[in-house]
Amino acid sequence: MDLFSKENGNVVVPLALFLVFFIFKAFAQMSEFWLTIIALLFCVLIFKVQIHKNEYKVFLLGLLIGSFIEIVLGLISRKQFWDDASLFGIPFWLPIAWAIGFVIITRVGMTIEGFKWEENK
């Protein structure tokens, strides 16, 4: 199995963009607004490269679960605090990162298992 083959390019590009986003977060000292814009832009790029059947459902599930974990469970016990938290104590980009993380993890797992992708038409 070659993750870098043309057939598996739908894994490498999202992983690279996900990594670049967190490098921006760590080193660029950008505002929450710009990080959110970059996260949304990267989501569009990831889905522009290739979107698979029902993948938007995985994205929405990640958005909902990520929001629930960060907001609701954060009210019970919060170990991490954000300086730029505008969405009930978390940054706007965080649920988006959860959502695209769900998509990327699904793609990686299915690629490793040898799943044959069905494009969204």
Return the percentage of the chain with pLDDT > 70, whole number: 82
Q: Is the pLDDT of residue 62 over 90?
A: yes
Please state, in angstroms and rounded to a whole number, the distance separating the CA atoms of residues 75 and 37. Answer: 26
Q: What is the mean pLDDT of the chain?
A: 81
Please state, in angstroms and rounded to a whole number, the distance separating the CA atoms of residues 91 and 10. Answer: 27
Is residue 75 within 8 Å of residue 114, measured between CB atoms?
no
The amino acid at residue 79 is K
Written as six digits, the tokens of 91 are 């940054």
Domain range annotation of the chain: 6-112
Burial of 8 (0-12, 13-18, 19+ CB in 10 A): middle
